[in-house]
Structure 1
C-alpha cells in the first residue's frame, strides 16, 4: 500500500481496520492502546509514534510498511531513486556463485578504499551516490573475495553488503535490508570475524525493533553480546559492544521497560568513557555524543517529550555524521510538536532536512511530524508549505 495524495498514516490505519471489520475500540484493545489515540491518529490530529505503528501493525497482522506507506514509491520515482533498487537486488543474489569469469575486479586495496568511500557517503546522507555505486561494487567484490579467499576480501565484501543494508533501509525496502544482513553474516562467518558478527546481530535486532518484535530483538542483542565476548578485547570490540547496548536501550524504551533501558545506557556510558569518540570505527558513530543522542531516543520512546527537549540541549559536534544529525533533529521535532512547541518543531524539521535532505525526505518521523503540524492549523511561515511540497503528496 503506497502513499498517495491525502493518504496519511491514520488514513491507512482506518482503511486496514475497516478491511478487518474492526471498530476503533476493537483495534485499540488488540493493539493495547487507548481508543482516543486510535481516533486522533485516524483523523490526522496526532502523529503515530514508532511504538504505536508497531502495535497497530501487529494487531492488524501486517508489516509496519503497510502502515507507514513505505516505500514511498511515488516520491522515489520522482527523485529517480527507484532505479537503484533492482540492481542492488540482483547483486545480492550472486553471493555464492563463485568468481564471475566476465568480471576483472580491482585490487583488494582499491575495493577496501571504495567500501570506505560508500560508508562515508551514507553517513553524509548521500543515499543516491552510495546507492548508485554499491550494486556494481558488490559484484566486483564478490568475485574478488572468491578469488582470494582471504579475511580482507570477505570483510570488504561484507562492508558493501552493509552499505546495501543502509541504503535499502533508508529508502524503505525492508525485505532487501534483511537480505543484505544475511549476506553480511555470510561474509563474517567466512572471515571468522566475531566483531562483525556482533555488529550483524545489532543491525538485525534493529530490523526487529522497527517491526515491534522486541522479544526477538532482545534475544539478538544478547546473542550479539555473546559473540563479541569471543573476540579479543580491542577498541573495535568495545565500540560494537557499546553500540549493542545503545540499540538495546532503545529497544527496551520502545517496549516501555525504563529500568532495562537505563541499565543499557549506563553500560554504554561506561564503555564510551574508555573508547572516546569513535565515529569511524565500523562507522557506528559510537562515543559519548551517541550515548547522549540515544538517551534522547529512549526518552522519546518512553513518551517523556518534555525530558526529550531538555536532554537535547547539548551541541552536536560539527564533524558528526549528517545522517545521525538529521535523525536526531527528527526525533526532537516530534517531541516539540507533542509539547505544542509548533514553531520550534518546524525549525527542527528544517534542521533535519538541511543536515541530510535525501534521508529526511524518506524518514517516517519527519513525515509524521509534518502531517501533525499541518493538522494543527497554526500559522506557520510560507516555507512550511514549501517543505510539504518537497516531501511530496504522501506526507499530507
Structure 2
C-alpha cells in the first residue's frame, strides 16, 4: 500500500477558502457563481497561484457565512471563548508568579501539608482523566497554599507536592494551548525540585522541558535528565528513565533518525520489562509496555511511515485501565493513520470516539486538526458529520 497524500501544510488564504468551500459542500463552480469573480481566479487563489485581494476575501466570506479573518488569519484552536479561557489561565499565571515572594501576608493555610499533597495528586489525576477545567479552577488556590507552606514550614514532602502542582499547571496550560505559560510552570517545577533534592522529579522536569523543544536542545535536556539517574536503580528511577528513552525516541523520529529511534525504543522495552506492569502510580507517567507501544505508533507517524503506523494502530489493544488522556491520544492517532490509508469513514469514526472520550483534550491535539484538514482535502464535498467536526475544532 502506498503512502497517501501528505498532511496539508499550505496555510495560505486560498487553502482556507478551499477548506471552507468544501465544508459548505460547494463546488468551485457553485462558489464562483455566487461571487463577482471568475472561476479561473477562484481556482488560482485556492491553489496559491494568485493572492486573494481584500475584496475577493470579503465576497467569499459573505457567501460562506464566515468572518474574513477566518480566511486570512491563522486558524483558531481555542476551544473556549477568550474571556472564559482567560478566566481559567490568569489565576494560574498569578499563582506561579508568587513563587519567590515568601509567605503570603493575607493567606492563612488551615490544611496540613499532607492534605495539600493529597490534593496535588488528585489534581494530577483530574488532568489524566482530561477534566482540565476542574483542575484549572482548583490549581491557583492549591499553588498559593503550598507556596505559603513551603516558605513557612519547608519540608521535602512539601517541596515535592509543590513541584507536582507546578507540573500539573504545565499540563493544563499546554493542553489549553498556552505553551508560554507551560514553560513558566516548568521553570517553577525545577525551582521546587531543587529544594526537594529529588533526582526523579528533576529528571521529569527536564523531560517535560525537552518536549517543548525540537532537535538538539530537546535531546540535550532529556539526556541531562538521564544523567541525574545514573546509578539509581529504584523502580521509580527505572520508570522515569524508561519514559526519558521514549522522549528521546520521539525526538529522534522528528529528525528521521531511524537508528536512534529503534535504540531508544529497545531500551524503553527493556526497562518496561524490569518495571513490570504499568507504572501509573509513579509520577503519573504511565510507563509500561502499553506506553512503549503507543510511542512506537507515535514515532512511525512522526517519520511519516504510515504503512507501518497503520499496522501498529490496528493491532494495538489498550488495557481497560489505560488513562483517558492516553486513550484519547491513541484514538486521534488511529484516526490520522486511517485517513492516510484513505479510510475516511473509519477515520471520522475514531475522531468522534476521541471527542466522546476526552473532548477538551481532543479538540487541542494537533493530530485532530491535521486529520480533519486531511479529510476535507480528500473529500470533494464534505459530509455534515465532517463539517460538524471541523466547526468544533475551530476551522
Query: 2:247 aligned with 1:242, yes or no?
Result: no
Query: 2:150 aligned with 1:150, yes or no?
Result: no
Q: Which position in structure 1 is the counterpart of 2:378?
A: 376
Q: Which position in structure 1 is the counterpart of 2:93?
A: 89
- How much has 1:317 moved relative to structure 2? 1.2
Q: Which SS does the other structure have where 2:212 is aligned?
A: helix
Query: 2:359 aligned with 1:357, yes or no?
Result: yes
Query: 2:146 aligned with 1:141, yes or no?
Result: yes
Q: Which SS does the other structure have where 1:76 is aligned?
A: coil
Q: Which position in structure 1 is the counterpart of 2:183?
A: 178
Task: Give the stretch that moved more between structures: 254-263 or 342-351.
Answer: 342-351
Query: 2:268 aligned with 1:263, yes or no?
Result: no
Change (3 A) 1:256 1:95: same
Where structure 2 has 5 or more consecutive residues not aligned to the other structure, the ranges are 1-7, 16-45, 49-72
Change (3 A) 1:152 1:338: same
- How much has 1:383 moved relative to structure 2? 2.8
Where structure 1 has 5 or more consecutive residues not aligned to the other structure, the ranges are 1-7, 16-41, 45-67
Q: How many residues align?
A: 332
For 1:193 and 1:290, how far apart are their aligned partners in 2? 24
Change (3 A) 1:71 1:153: farther
Alignment of 1:95-110 (within 5 A): 95-105=99-109, 106-110=111-115
Change (3 A) 1:14 1:91: farther
- How much has 1:190 moved relative to structure 2? 0.4
Query: Do 1:184 and 1:200's aligned partners in 2 also have CA atoms closer than 8 Å?
Result: yes
Query: Do 1:70 and 1:173's aligned partners in 2 also have CA atoms closer than 8 Å?
Result: no
Change (3 A) 1:314 1:11: closer
For 2:47 and 2:338, how far apart are their aligned partners in 1? 20
Residues 68-111 of structure 1 deviation map (CA, whole Å, 9 limit, x = unaligned): 958734x4217933321111111110001111121122211111
Q: Which SS does the other structure have where 1:201 is aligned?
A: helix
Change (3 A) 1:145 1:158: same
Alignment of 1:205-220 (within 5 A): 205-208=210-213, 213-220=214-221
Task: Give the stretch that moved more between structures: 169-178 or 366-375.
Answer: 366-375
Q: Which position in structure 2 is the counterpart of 1:198?
A: 203
For 1:87 and 1:169, how far apart are their aligned partners in 2? 16
Query: Do 2:159 and 2:192's aligned partners in 1 also have CA atoms closer than 8 Å?
Result: yes
Q: Which position in structure 1 is the counterpart of 2:300?
A: 299
For 1:318 and 1:378, how far apart are their aligned partners in 2? 38
- How much has 1:119 moved relative to structure 2? 0.7
Select the structure of larger CA radius of gyration: 2
For 2:98 and 2:90, how far apart are their aligned partners in 1? 13
Q: TM-score under structure 2 normalisation?
A: 0.79
Change (3 A) 1:43 1:217: farther
Change (3 A) 1:360 1:114: same
Residues 12-45 of structure 1 deviation map (CA, whole Å, 9 limit, x = unaligned): 5989xxxxxxxxxxxxxxxxxxxxxxxxxx959x
Q: Which SS does the other structure have where 1:72 is aligned?
A: coil
Q: TM-score under structure 1 normalisation?
A: 0.79
For 1:79 and 1:353, how far apart are their aligned partners in 2? 23
For 1:13 and 1:178, how far apart are their aligned partners in 2? 31
Which among 318, 321, 325 is matched to residue 320 of structure 2?
A: 318
Alignment of 1:331-370 (within 5 A): 331-370=333-372
Change (3 A) 1:152 1:70: farther
Greater RCO (CA < 8 Å, at least 6 residues apart): 2
- How much has 1:332 moved relative to structure 2? 2.1
Q: How big is the alpha-carbon RMSD for the aligned residues of Structure 1 and Structure 2? A: 2.3
Which among 64, 72, 77 is matched to residue 72 of structure 1?
A: 77
- How much has 1:382 moved relative to structure 2? 3.8
- How much has 1:304 moved relative to structure 2? 0.8
